[in-house]
Amino acid sequence: MPKKIFLLLTAIFLSGFLASNIYAAGFIGQKTTISNQMMAIDGYDDYMIAVGTNLGLGSAIFYTTSDGSWKKSTSLPSTSSLYDVAVIDSQTAIVIGRGGLIMKTTDFGENWTTVSSGVSEDLYGIDMLDSGEGWIVGGAGTILYTDDGGDTWTSKSSGVSEDLYDVYAVDSEDVYAVGANGTFLETDYITSFSALIWKTKTVPTSDDINGVYFSDISNGFIVGDNGSAFSTADGGNNWSALSLGISSDLYSINTYSGNLYITGYDAFYQSDDGGVTWEDIMDTNGFSASGNRVNDVYQTNDSYLYAVMYDSANGISGVYLYDDIVPTPVSNLAPDSDPTNSRTVIFSWDAATDYESGVDYYEMDIDGIGYNNIGNVTSYTVDFTADGEHSVSVRAVDEAGNTGMISSATVTIDTKDPAVSMVYPPTATVDAVTALNVDVKDDSEILSCEFYVNGVDEGGMIDNGDGSFSFNYIFTDTSLDYEVYATCMDIVGNVGVGTGVSMIIGEASSSDTQAPEITSFESDLTEVDIGETVSFSATVSDDSGVAVCYLYEEGANAAEMNMSGSTAYVDYSYSDEGEYTMSVQCIDEAGNTGASDELIITVSPDSSSDSSSDSSSGSSSSSSDSSASEDDSSS
C-alpha cells in the first residue's frame, strides 16, 4: 500500500470514531469494530486478514475466525504501522510495515512473531507464491526476497532509489514492481547465473504508480496518482490508457473470479471483460459522498467481496462487505381473510433471504401509491378506507440497500350490505301458490336469502343463479294484511334487508281483467350525477281503481310510488355511474298489472367529489334503500 496514503491518513488524527452501519448501497457495516485506519486485506479461501493502524494506538490486525466473525490480534510484538499483508494458507500470513517491520503468524492471526528484514526502510508491498518464494518492496528502492515461505529475507538490488509501492509475481521468474515518479521494474532471468535481476522499463506516466497486476507475462495493468491507469498486451513494451474518466489517485488493482477491480480515492471500478470496459460500481450503488478511500479488496471463495475503506470526512475506517446481490422475494404473502367485511387487514409472509448482508427491512406498496419502509417484520396491518379489490406488494431491502423482487397479493373488502329489492309481484291469489322474488346486488357472492311474512322467517329462498331469489308461498285470507320482505347475507357476513311490500290478495276469479293503462312516464332529468335526485312521474287509469304503482330499475322493483289522483310520482337517486333502464308498473284492485314504456337515465361520477363511490344500488325518498352509498379514498 502506498506510503503517501498512510501519511495523509495520519495527518488526520481522530479519536473515538463511530462505527458505521451502512456506507451506501453496495457497502455494508464495518466488520472491524474499533477505531482504525485499514490499509490492506488478503485471504485464503474464506479466511481473511486486514491490517492497518489504530491512530495513536499502534498496529491493527484483524482476522476472521472459523465462524466468519472478525477478531482483533492482541499482544503484537511491534506497534509500528502496517501497510500490506500476504495470506499464504489457512494458517500462515505475513504482514509488513513501517521501519522494515515484518511479522509472521502460523495460527492465522492468534499469535505473531517478528522476522528480520535487515532493513530500516518502510515496507509497502508484498506478494507470495505457493512455492514459498516471495518479494517485498519498500522505500528507497528496497526489494527483499524469500524462498522459504517468509522465514528469512535477503535484500536484492533494484537499481533505483525511488520508493516502491507494490509488487506482483506471475511466477518465480516474472515479477513486476512499481513506485514513485512512474517507476516500473521487471525481472530478467539470467540463465548463465541462474538468477534474477531487476531492470527498469518506461511507462507513459511520471505519476506515482501504486498498483500492478499481470495475468501472464504479456498482459498487465498499472494504476497510480491522478487517475493514471494503463494496460499492456506485450509485457510492458507498449501501454494503452484505460478510459476511467477520473483524475483522483488510484491505489490498487486486483482480480477475483474473472473480474478486475481498481480501488482509489472516491473510486471503485470493476471490469468483467478483461479490462476492455470498466464500470464505476461506487457510483452505481449510490456511494456519492466525497473523500472516501477504497484502499484494497479481497473476494472469498463464496464470491463475497470485502474492501478496506476510509471515510476522511467522518473519520471512519474498517473492513466492509460489498453487496450487490438483491434479496429473494418474500413467499406466501396473503391477507388474513379474503374476501372480508373488515377494512383492517393483516398481511403476512415468509421472510426473504439475503445471502450476503442480510435483510434490513421490508417495503410495502398499497394500491400502487408507492413503497414505504414497514420495518423488519413478516406481518403488517393495513387499514383500508374503501371497499373493493386492493393490491399489496412487498419487497425486501438488504443492509447494503439492494431492493429485492416484488411479491404481490390482493384482498377484496366488502363492508356494504347486499342491496335487496322489494318482493315482486306484489299481488297474489288467495289459497294459490305464488312464486315471490327478489333481486339482489352485492360486491361479494350472496350466500343465502330468507323470506319473511309479517316479520316471521318462513325459510330460505331458492337461488335462481341470475341475481334473483324465489320463494313459493300460499296466502290464505284476503281480509288480512300481509307484509313481505327478504333478507340476504353475502359470504363475508354482511346482511341486507329489503323494503317491506304490502301484498294485494285477490280471489281466484274477477270480472275485471283489464290492466291499468299508463299513458305517460317521464322524468325531469335524463342525465345526472351520482347522488343527484331525479323526479319520476306517471299518469295511470283503471276501471276498478289503481291500488299501487312501483318504479322499476333494470327490471327490478326499486321503489313504491306516491299516488295523487291519476298521477304516480317518486324522487329517486343513484349511487353508481352507468346507464339505467327505468319503468313503472301499476296494479289495480283486481290484481291486474300494467307497465309503462322505458326511460334511459345516464348517471355520471359526482364532479364535486374526488373520491370513488361504491357500487351499491340507488335510493329513493319514498322508500328506504338497503345499501348506503359512501365515498372512500384508497389508502
Q: Where are the beta strands (DSSP E) in 483-545?
A: 483-490, 495-497, 501-502, 504-506, 517-523, 527-529, 534-541
Q: Is the peptide bond before 425 cis (omega within 30 degrees of 0)?
A: yes
Pair 284, 155 in one domain = yes
Q: Which three cell numbers stand for residue 563?
A: 299516488
Q: CA-to-CA distance for 63 and 93, rounded, in angstroms?
A: 10
- Tell me the pLDDT tens digit for each residue of 222-256: 999 999 999 999 999 999 999 898 999 999 999 99
Confidence of residue 141 (pLDDT cuts 50, 70, 90): very high
Better-predicted residue by pLDDT, 325 or 448: 448
Sheet of 344-350, strands arranged across:
331-335, 344-350, 379-383
Confidence of residue 6 (pLDDT cuts 50, 70, 90): very low
Confidence of residue 405 (pLDDT cuts 50, 70, 90): very high
| Residues spanned by the domain of 536 | 517-604
When pLDDT is averaged across residues 536-558 and rounded to a whole number, the result is: 89
Pair 288, 366 in one domain = no
- CATH at residue 302: 2.130.10.10
pLDDT of residue 487: 98
Task: Measure Cα distances from 180 to 162, 163, 296, 425, 486 in Å.
Answer: 6, 6, 19, 104, 96
Pair 546, 582 in one domain = yes
Confidence of residue 189 (pLDDT cuts 50, 70, 90): confident
- 616, 619, 623, 627 alpha-carbon torsion, rounded to 10°: 20
Sort 607 into a burial class: Cβ within 10 Å, 0-12 / 13-18 / 19+: exposed
With residue 571 as reference, give the H or E element that holds it.
strand 567-573
Are the C-beta atoms of residues 255 and 274 closer than 8 Å to each other?
Answer: no
Instruction: Examine the pLDDT at 15 and tell me if it is beyond 60.
Output: no
Instruction: Examine the pLDDT at 216 and tell me if it is beyond 80.
Output: yes
- Tell me the pLDDT tens digit for each residue of 58-85: 788 999 988 888 888 888 899 899 999 9
Are the C-beta atoms of residues 136 and 153 closer than 8 Å to each other?
Answer: yes
Instruction: Examine the pLDDT at 211 and tell me if it is beyond 70.
Output: yes
Q: Which of 84-98, 140-154, 610-624 has the lowest mean pLDDT?
A: 610-624
Pair 352, 219 in one domain = no
- Tell me the pLDDT tens digit for each residue of 567-596: 999 999 998 899 999 999 998 877 788 999
Pick the most confident of 101-110, 606-615, 619-628: 101-110
Question: Which of 547, 574, 549 is CA-nearest to residue 560?
Answer: 549
Average pLDDT, the chain: 86
* 164, amino acid identity: L
Q: HSE on the CB side for 245, CA within 13 Å?
A: 6
User: Which residues face 331 on adjacent strands?
Assistant: 350
Pair 367, 284 in one domain = no
Does 435 map to a domain? yes
pLDDT of residue 283: 52
pLDDT of residue 476: 93
pLDDT of residue 190: 74
Does 43 map to a domain? yes
Does 133 map to a domain? yes
pLDDT of residue 365: 97
Q: CA-to-CA distance for 245 and 247, rounded, in angstroms?
A: 7
Pair 375, 402 in one domain = yes
Does 632 map to a domain? no
DSSP 10: H
Pair 453, 436 in one domain = yes
Query: What one-character-per-residue DSSP string does 319-362 give?
Result: EEEE--PPPPPPEEEEESSSSBS-SEEEEEEEPP--SSS-EEEE
With residue 4 as reference, give the H or E element that holds it.
helix 3-10
Instruction: Examine the pLDDT at 628 and tell me if it is beyond 50.
Output: no
Q: CA-to-CA distance for 449 and 460, rounded, in angstroms?
A: 6
Does 545 map to a domain? yes
- CATH at residue 366: 2.60.40.10
Pair 153, 72 in one domain = yes
Instruction: Examine the pLDDT at 294 and tell me if it is beyond 60.
Output: yes
Q: CA-to-CA distance for 570 and 553, rounded, in angstroms?
A: 13
Confidence of residue 400 (pLDDT cuts 50, 70, 90): confident
Domain count, the chain: 4
Does 230 map to a domain? yes
Q: CA-to-CA distance for 403 and 362, rounded, in angstroms?
A: 9
Pairing of strands 305-311, 316-322: antiparallel
Task: Measure Cα distances from 429 to 138, 425, 434, 506 in Å.
Answer: 115, 11, 7, 5
Are the C-beta atoms of residues 106 and 49 closer than 8 Å to each other?
Answer: no
pLDDT of residue 124: 97
* 451, amino acid identity: F
Pair 464, 552 in one domain = no
Q: CA-to-CA distance for 281 and 287, rounded, in angstroms?
A: 9
Pair 471, 369 in one domain = no
Instruction: Examine the pLDDT at 295 and tell me if it is beyond 80.
Output: yes
Q: CA-to-CA distance for 381 and 627, rounded, in angstroms?
A: 28
Among 323, 357, 376, which residue terminates a domain?
323
When pLDDT is averaged across residues 298-316 and rounded to a whole number, the result is: 79
Are the C-beta atoms of residues 157 and 138 closer than 8 Å to each other?
Answer: no
Helix (H, G, I), strand (E, B) or coil at 5: helix
Are the C-beta atoms of residues 319 and 64 closer than 8 Å to each other?
Answer: no
Q: What is the 3-state secondary structure (H, E, C) of 428-482?
A: EECCCEEEEEEEEECCCCEEEEEEEECCEEEEECEECCCCEEEEEEECCCCCCCC
Question: Which of 24, 29, 32, 28 is CA-nearest to residue 49?
Answer: 32
Among 323, 344, 379, which residue terminates a domain?
323
Question: Which of 521, 30, 546 is CA-nearest to residue 315?
Answer: 30
Q: Where are the beta strands (DSSP E) in 236-278?
A: 240-241, 250-256, 259-264, 267-271
- Tell me the pLDDT tens digit for each residue of 36-52: 678 999 999 889 999 98
Instruction: Examine the pLDDT at 29 and tell me if it is beyond 70.
Output: no
Helix (H, G, I), strand (E, B) or coil at 8: helix
Question: Which of 137, 139, 82 is CA-nearest to residue 105?
Answer: 82
Instruction: Encode 442-465: b = buried (16+ Cβ within 10 Å), e = exposed.
Output: bbbebbebbbbbeeeeeeebebee
When pLDDT is averaged across residues 315-326 and rounded to a whole number, the result is: 80
User: Which residues face 298 on adjacent strands?
Assistant: 306
Are the C-beta atoms of residues 215 and 198 closer than 8 Å to each other?
Answer: no
Q: Which three cell numbers stand for residue 613?
A: 363511490
- Tell me the pLDDT tens digit for each residue of 503-527: 998 887 667 788 899 999 999 999 9
Percentage of residues in the chain having pLDDT higher than 70: 86
Are the C-beta atoms of residues 491 and 414 closer than 8 Å to each other?
Answer: no
Does 263 map to a domain? yes
Are the C-beta atoms of residues 362 and 395 closer than 8 Å to each other?
Answer: yes
Are the C-beta atoms of residues 144 and 135 closer than 8 Å to each other?
Answer: yes
Pair 57, 203 in one domain = yes
Does 613 map to a domain? no
Among 461, 482, 506, which residue terminates a domain?
506
Pair 484, 529 in one domain = no
Task: Measure Cα distances from 26 to 9, 329, 560 in Å.
Answer: 24, 19, 70
